[in-house]
Structure 1
Amino acid sequence: MKILIIEDEAKTADYLAGGLGEAGYSVDHADNGIDGLHMARETPYDLILLDVMLPGLDGWAVMQKLRAQTRTPVLFLSARGTLEDRLRGLELGADEYLVKPFSFAELLARIRIILRRGQAQPDEEILSLGDLRLDLGKHRCERAGMRIDLTSKEFKLLACFLQHPEQVLSRTFLASRVWDMNFDSDTNVVDVAVRRLRQKVDEPFAVRLIHTVHGVGYRCELEA
C-alpha cells in the first residue's frame, strides 16, 4: 500500500513516514500543496494524508482539485479542529479528519478502516472506459458489445488500469498489484502481459485505450 503525506512540518512528516514505514506502508512526502497535488495526480496512491495549512496551495484547495479528478481516499491531519473545519474537510470529499495532536495508534486504525473500505467496493462495481466494460463480480469483459476472454492476470491488469484512468502506472506499481511481486528490471513480464492485453482489447478496435508512456509505464485513456 502506497501513501502520500502532504505536510510542511518536517518533524511531523518524518514522524509519520517512520511510523507508517514500520507498519509496512510505502511512503512519499511533499512539503507544499503544489508539489503534493502534482504527485497525487501523477502517481496512483492508496491514501493521501493531507495537512490544511500548507505553503503554495492550502489543503482545502488541494482537496477540491483532487476530487475533480480522482477518488483516492484522503485523510486530513490538521491542528485546525473546530467543528466548522472538520465539516468543511468532509464536505470537500475527505474520508476522515483527524485533529493534531493525535495518537499514532488511532491514525493507523483510521488508515486501515479507510483502506478496507476501498478494497470492499470494487467487487460490486462495473468498470468502464468508452465502449469497454469490465464486470468484476461476474469476471466478464466486453467491448462494443463483444465478449473478450481474458486470463486471470489479464483481467486483473485491465482492472488495475480502469481503476486508475488517465494516470501513468509504472511497471513497479503494476507488478506489485497484479503479480504481488517487486519489479525486476531484468524481467519483461509486465510488458509481455500488456502486449497480450492490447491484442485482445485494443487491436481489433479503431480506438486504442492502453498507451505507452516511454521510460515511465502505461496509461489507460480514450485517445483525444
Structure 2
Amino acid sequence: MKYSIMVIEDNSSIRKELANLLCKSGYEAKEVTDFQNAAEIVEETRPHLILLDINLPGIDGFQLCSQIRTHSAVPIIFVTSRNTDLDELMSITLGGDDFVTKPYNTAVLMARVASLLKRAYPETAEDVFEHKGVKLHILASCVEYNARRVELSRNELKIMHYLMQNKGKIVGRGDLVEFLWDSEAFVDDNTLSVNITRIRGKLGELGVEEFIHTKRGQGYLI
C-alpha cells in the first residue's frame, strides 16, 4: 500500500512541484485547493501525512492545523516561506510535527517525509492485526469492530500495536513505557494510564468491553 500525502498549498506551481516530487518518490499525492473545507477533506480522505503552507487565502495554516487536530493525529509538516522562530514555535505548539522553510532542498524534504512516516506508522509486514473480532489497521491508524471504525492517536496506535503483537501474554507497564520511549514518544507511567483509558473508551464506542485486562501489579493482557 502506498502512503497518501496531502498537499495544502495555494501557489499552484509549488503545489504541482510538490505533488510531482511525491509521486516520483513513490507516494500518492493529493492536492487540495478548497482551503475553507480542507479539514473536512482530511477527515474524509484520511491521508497518511500532510504538507501544509501557513499563508492560505481565507484561513491560515495555523487555524487549519488546529481544526485538523480536533479529529486527527495525522502527521503534519509545515512547508512555508515564513521563517521566524515564532512561526516555528506556533506550528509545533498547535500540533505540527515538523517545519520546513522555502526555498527547500527537495532531497532534505523527502528525507523528512520518510523519517516522519517511519516514526508515525510502526514498521510491520502486516497492515491489519485481529484479535477477538477487533481489527487494528496500522496504516489507517484506527480500530474496527463489526464494520465500525474509530481513529487512534499516535500513542494509542503504538500501544494497541504492541498489545496485539503480544496477545495472550501479560505486557508489563514498564515494557510499554520503554517501547514508547524507544519509539520517540514522550510518555511516563501516568501518560500510559491516560492512553489506556482512552483506548478503552474508544473500544467502548464500538461496543467492545473488557478487551484490555489489567493484571494488578503485572501489566495488561488482551
Q: Distance in 2 between matches of 1:165 and 1:208?
A: 8
SS in 1 for 2:107: helix
Q: Does structure 1 retain, via aligned residues, the 8 Å contact 2:80–2:102?
A: yes
Of 59, 62, 69, the match for 1:60: 62
Matches within 5 A, 1:145-224: 148=132, 155=135, 161-162=142-143, 165=150
Question: For the structure 1 residues 58 and 24, does the alpha-carbon distance in structure 2 shift closer, same or farther, using more than 3 Å as the test?
Answer: same
Q: TM-score, normalised by structure 1?
A: 0.58
Look up the equivalent residue of 2:143 and give its one-letter code.
L
Residue-by-residue CA offset, 1:142-201 (whole Å, 9 max, x unaligned)? xxxxxx2x5xxx84559864286269xxxxxxxxxxxxxxxxxxxxxxxxxxxxxxxxxx
- With 89-98 and 35-44 compared, the bigger mean Cα shift is at 35-44
The unaligned stretches of length 5 or more in structure 2 are 153-204, 208-222
The count of residues paired between Structure 1 and Structure 2 equals: 147
Conservation of the 8 A alpha-carbon contact between 1:47 and 1:73: yes
Q: Distance in 2 between matches of 1:91 and 1:166?
A: 22
Partner of 2:121: helix, strand, or coil?
helix
Give the whole-Å Cα distance in 1 for the aligned partners of 2:9 and 2:141. 28
Is the contact made by 1:5 and 1:48 (CA closer than 8 Å) also made in structure 2? Answer: yes
Structure 1: stretches of 5+ with no match in the other structure: 123-135, 142-147, 168-206, 210-224
Q: Equivalent pairs: percent with the same residue?
A: 28
* CA deviation profile, 1:8-35 (whole Å, cap 9, x unmatched): 0000001001111111110111124213
Whole-Å Cα distance in 1 between the matches of residues 22 and 141 of structure 2?
Answer: 24
1:84 aligns with 2:69: no
CA contact (8 A) 2:78 2:100 kept: yes
Partner deviation per Cα, 1:14-57 (whole Å, 9 max, x = no partner): 10011111111101111242132221111111100000000122
Equivalent residues of 1:6, 1:29 under 8 A apart:
yes
Which residue does the alignment assign to 1:19?
A: 21
Q: In 2 relative to 1, CA 103–53 (structure 1 residues): closer, same or farther, beyond 3 Å?
A: same
User: Secondary structure at 2:150's aligned position in 1?
Assistant: coil
TM-score (norm 2): 0.58
